[in-house]
Structure 1
Amino acid sequence: MPMHRLAAVATALTLAAGATAGCSGGTQPGPGGTRPGTGAQPGNAFAVVVGAHANSPHPALVSGAGSLIDAAVAGGSRASIVVSDGQPSLKGPVSLAASGNNAEARKKSTAALSSSFAAKVIAARATAPENDLLGAISLAARATSGGTGTRTLLVIDSGLQTVAPLRFQDPGVLGADPADVAESLASAHALPDLKGVTVLLSGIGDTAAPQEPLSTAQRANLVAIWTAVLQRAGAEVTVRDEPLSGAAADGLPAVTTVTLPVAQTFATIGTSPTTTVDLGQETVAFLPDQAVYRDPAAVQQTLKPLAEKIIAGHLLVSLTGATAGNSDGLALSRQRAEAVKQTLVGLGVDPATITCSGLGSKAPGHVPDTDASGHLLPGPAAQNRKVIVEARRA
C-alpha cells in the first residue's frame, strides 16, 4: 500500500481517539478505563493476523506496521493477535489504553504498550500444520466486533493458504481470476463478515524456503485475489508495498508447498513438423469475459520469443481460443485468439501466416470447472482459459 494511504489509516485512528477526548471534559476515568486527555476510545478495535508459519518469512514489523500499532495505542483500542496456521488461534484481547495522571506518565505508558504489543506479534508462532489465512481473518474480524469505533486488521502473511476452501496448491488456483475466487467463496458461504473493517495486507507473496519464490506476475495476482476476496466480504482493503524477507523460524509445523507453474519458454516451437503449446492464464491472462489482457506490456514481453521463433522458422500458426464454463463461448474464445494474433503481428509476424478459431468450452483437454450447483470452480476454470498455438513448418 502506498505510504500516504497507510498514514491516512493511522491518522483516522488517532483522530477518532481525539474526538472522544474532546467530549470527555474533566470527568474521572469511565468504565472503559478512559482518562481525560488520553485520547482513548474503548470502542476502537485492532487485530493483527500474523502468519508465523513455515514457508513464510518470520513476521517483522516494518515501519508501516509499527505506526499502526502506535495509532491503535493512541486510539485506546482493544487489541488481539491471531496466528494464521491450520487451526487459527486468538491471543487477547488486551487493552491498549494508556494510563497515567499526567502527560509524562501517559507518554511512558503509551510507549510501553506499543513496545509490549509489538513484541507479542514478533513472538507469535504457529502450533498447527498448514495455513488457514481466511479462517484467521474471520477469527480476527469476530474479535474486533461489538465496539462503536474503528475496526482495523493488519494481516502479515504470505497469502498462500493451503486448506479448504482456498487451496493455492491446487492446479490453476494461483493463476485464477480474482473475481472468480471471490465469487466462488461467496457462493459457498465461506466469507467472513468484514463490513466496516479496514484490512491492511503486508507480505502477500513473500515466501521462505522450501517454498519457491513467486514471480512478479504471480505475486501480483495473489495480491489481487486477496484484495477481491476481502472486498467481496465487505472490507476496505489497502496493500502495503514493504516486502518481508528472510527465513521462517525453526521448528514450525509443516506447510504444504505450492508448486508454481513452469514458465513457458517456447523451446519446442519449430523443432518438429508440428508443435503445440498452450498459452494459459499464467502466460496470457485476460480480463473477465473480455478479450483484453490484464497486463498488455507483460504479454507482449512474454510472446516476443514466440514471435521470433515463428519468424526465424517461417512457420504457419493456428491459434485456437478456449474458455471456461459450460457455455460454448465461441465468440469470446475466437476474440482472444485474435488478440494474441494482433500481439504477434505487432512483434513482426506476417499476419498472413496466422489463422484463428475459437472452440469455447469444447476445446481438447477441457476439465470440468463447475460444481453441482453450476458455480464456476476458479482453479479448473483457470486451466481451461487458454489460447492453443499450433505451429507448422511451411
Structure 2
Amino acid sequence: MVVMKKMMIGFLLVLMALLSGCQMSEVYDTSVNLCIIVANRKNQPDFSDSETLNTSLKNVIDSYGKVQIIVPDGAPYIQGTYSIEEPAKRMSSRKAADWRDIQISSMYNILTTTRAQTPEVDLLSAISLAGRWLDDREGEKQLLIVDNGLSTVGLLDFTKNLIRVDANTIVEYLEEKEAIPSLSGIDVTWVGLGDTADSQQSLTPVNRKNLECIWNSICIAGGADSVTFRGDAPSTGNNSESLPEVTPIDIIAEEPMEVPAKQSRTWWLGEEKCQFLPDSAEFVDIDATKSLLQPIVEAVANEDLILGFCGTTARAPGATEQGCQELSLQRALAVEKLMLEMGMDMRRIGVTLGRGYNHPYYINDRNEDGTLNEQIASANRSVIIFSLDSEVAEKLLKE
C-alpha cells in the first residue's frame, strides 16, 4: 500500500512538472517559413493592425520558423531574414505566452519601420524574389503580400492602363517573357489588394475585381498551391510625406448605369395594308398580311413591350355602334391570333378591344347628305397595334 502511494505521488509530481513546462504554442510537425512583402510606401494605406498579419506571425513563432521581409519599392530588396529560435529551457504557460508576445512585438517593430527606399513599385520582381527564397526552404511555405497590387514599373506597369486588360492576356505576355514568378508549393495570402491612399484615386469595383483576377492568374500560373485574398480593413493614418514618390494609376470610372426608357411603339394597319373581306374578320390575302406583320413580331421579341390591339371601322349607313364594335374586335383578334401563330409570346398581349367608330381617331366619313365618303371611310377601317405605355394607348383605353 505504501509502495502504491509512493508511485501515485511520483506520477503526480511528474505530471505537474510537465504541465508547468507546457508552451502556449500549437504543436507543429514542421516549421513555417513566411515571406512577407510589405513596406510603408506612398499611395497605399497602412495595414499594421491586420489580423491576417498577426495570425501569420503567431504561426511562425509557434513553429520556430523563419521570416523574411521583402520591400516592394522600385528596386525590391530583402530587408532581413529572421529565425525564431526555440527557447533553451521549457517555460510555464504564462512565461511562454509572454515570450511569444515579445517575439510578435519585436517583429511588428521591424515591420512598422520598414520603408520604401526607391521611387515606384515593382511588385512582380518582389514576388519573384520571395519565390526564390521560399523555394530553398524546408517545411511549410507561406507568402503574405501586404500591398494594393498597383505596380508602377517593370513588366507589369499599371500606369500603362493594364488594370483594364484581360488577366489571360497578361499571363500569356509574362510567360513569353519568362517572367512568371516560381511559386510552386507556396500558399499565397494577400492583404490590401486594391486599397488606396494619398494621391491614388480609388478603384472602381470593376477595376478591383480585374486586378484580383490578374494577380490570382499570375500566382496560379507560377504554381502556387493556393491564393487567398483577405478583406482586412486598413489601419487609421498613413504618414507618407517623406516616402519616395509612386506614380498614381489613372482610373477610368465606369459610366453610371442608365436604364433606357421604354420605347413607345404604335403600328397603324390601315385598310390599304391589312385588308379584310367586307363585313368580315377574314383576311383577303393572309400571306401578304404575314409579310406585313413579320417586322412587328420581330420588334416585339427584341423589345420589352406589352401590346394592345384595337380594331376600328367606318360608320357605314345602317350599321349600329354595337355591330361596328363587334366587327372591329373580331378583326383585332384575327391580327392578334395570326401574330401568335407567327411566334409572338402570348405574354406580350395586354388588351384587345374593338372601338368601331367611337374613338378619338375617328374621322367623320359621312357626306352632307348622309351617304358614306368611301375615301375617308377607308382610313377609318384599321387595326392599331400599340404598346401600353404609349400616348395612343392612353387615348384608346380612355372610357
Percent identity of paired positions between Structure 1 and Structure 2: 27
What's the counterpart of residue 136 of structure 2? 146
Quick one: structure 1 residues 214 and 113, their matched pair in 2 at CA, closer, same or farther if it must change by over 3 Å?
Answer: same
Query: How far apart, CA to CA, are the structure 2 residues paired with 1:249 and 1:53?
Result: 6
Q: Report deviation, 1:140.
A: 1.7
TM-score (norm 1): 0.57
Contact 1:48–1:81, Cα closer than 8 Å, also in 2: yes
Unpaired runs of at least 5, structure 1: 1-25, 27-34, 266-301, 315-341, 351-394
Aligned partner (choices 134, 139, 147) of residue 124 of structure 2? 134
Query: How far apart, CA to CA, are the structure 1 residues paired with 2:86 and 2:304?
Result: 63
Residue 252 (1) aligns with residue 243 (2): yes
Task: Read off the aligned partner of 1:60 and give its amino acid letter.
Answer: S
Aligned partner (choices 192, 200, 208) of residue 203 of structure 1? 192
Query: How far apart, CA to CA, are the structure 1 residues paired with 2:305 and 2:255?
Result: 20
Residue 227 (1) aligns with residue 221 (2): no
Q: Which runs of 4+ in 1 moved over 4 A?
A: 37-43, 344-350
Q: Deviations over 1:92-143 (max 9, x none)?
A: 2111233141233443332211221122112211010001111111112222
Contact 1:195–1:233, Cα closer than 8 Å, also in 2: yes
What's the counterpart of residue 7 of structure 2? none
Q: Report deviation, 1:313.
A: 12
Q: Report deviation, 1:51.
A: 3.9
Contact 1:98–1:110, Cα closer than 8 Å, also in 2: no
Q: Secondary structure at the match of 1:166?
A: coil
Contact 1:58–1:249, Cα closer than 8 Å, also in 2: no
Map 1:1-394 onto structure 2 (within 5 A): 39=27, 44-104=32-92, 105-171=95-161, 173-235=162-224, 236-244=226-234, 246-265=237-256, 302=257, 304-305=258-259, 307-308=260-261, 311=263
Contact 2:39–2:111, Cα closer than 8 Å, also in 1: no
Q: Report deviation, 1:176.
A: 1.4
Task: Read off the aligned partner of 1:134 and give its amino acid letter.
Answer: L
Question: What is the number of equivalent residue pairs in this alignment?
Answer: 248
Contact 1:200–1:237, Cα closer than 8 Å, also in 2: yes
Query: How far apart, CA to CA, are the structure 1 residues paired with 2:265 and 2:176?
Result: 48
Quick one: structure 1 residues 107 and 221, their matched pair in 2 at CA, closer, same or farther if it must change by over 3 Å?
Answer: same
Q: Secondary structure at the match of 1:69?
A: helix
Quick one: structure 1 residues 190 and 347, their matched pair in 2 at CA, closer, same or farther if it must change by over 3 Å?
Answer: farther
Q: Report deviation, 1:64.
A: 2.0
Query: How far apart, CA to CA, are the structure 2 residues paired with 1:191 and 1:348?
Result: 52
Query: How far apart, CA to CA, are the structure 1 residues paired with 2:26 and 2:207?
Result: 45
Query: How far apart, CA to CA, are the structure 1 residues paired with 2:215 and 2:245?
Result: 23
Root mean square deviation, CA, Å: 3.1
Q: Deviations over 1:345-392 (max 9, x none)?
A: 677799xxxxxxxxxxxxxxxxxxxxxxxxxxxxxxxxxxxxxxxxxx
Task: Read off the aligned partner of 1:95 and give its amino acid letter.
Answer: S
Unpaired runs of at least 5, structure 2: 1-17, 267-298, 308-399
Query: How far apart, CA to CA, are the structure 1 residues paired with 2:58 and 2:133?
Result: 19
Query: How far apart, CA to CA, are the structure 2 residues paired with 1:313 and 1:133?
Result: 56
Quick one: structure 1 residues 121 and 84, their matched pair in 2 at CA, closer, same or farther if it must change by over 3 Å?
Answer: same
What's the counterpart of residue 330 of structure 1? none
Contact 1:208–1:248, Cα closer than 8 Å, also in 2: no
Quick one: structure 1 residues 262 and 38, their matched pair in 2 at CA, closer, same or farther if it must change by over 3 Å?
Answer: closer
Task: Read off the aligned partner of 2:252 and give its amino acid letter.
Answer: P
Query: How far apart, CA to CA, are the structure 2 residues paired with 1:158 and 1:244?
Result: 11
- Tell me whether 199-208 or 100-109 shows the greater mean CA deviation: 100-109
Q: Deviations over 1:252-300 (max 9, x none)?
A: 10001101114325xxxxxxxxxxxxxxxxxxxxxxxxxxxxxxxxxxx
Contact 1:61–1:122, Cα closer than 8 Å, also in 2: no
Contact 2:141–2:186, Cα closer than 8 Å, also in 1: yes
Query: How far apart, CA to CA, are the structure 1 residues paired with 2:85 and 2:29?
Result: 8
Q: Deviations over 1:311-358 (max 9, x none)?
A: 4899xxxxxxxxxxxxxxxxxxxxxxxxxxx9x9677799xxxxxxxx
Quick one: structure 1 residues 348 and 193, their matched pair in 2 at CA, closer, same or farther if it must change by over 3 Å?
Answer: farther
Larger Rg: 2
Q: Secondary structure at the match of 2:163?
A: coil
Q: Report deviation, 1:40.
A: 6.8
Quick one: structure 1 residues 311 and 67, their matched pair in 2 at CA, closer, same or farther if it must change by over 3 Å?
Answer: same
Q: Secondary structure at the match of 1:249?
A: coil
TM-score (norm 2): 0.56
Quick one: structure 1 residues 41 and 83, their matched pair in 2 at CA, closer, same or farther if it must change by over 3 Å?
Answer: farther
Task: Read off the aligned partner of 2:89 and give its amino acid letter.
Answer: N
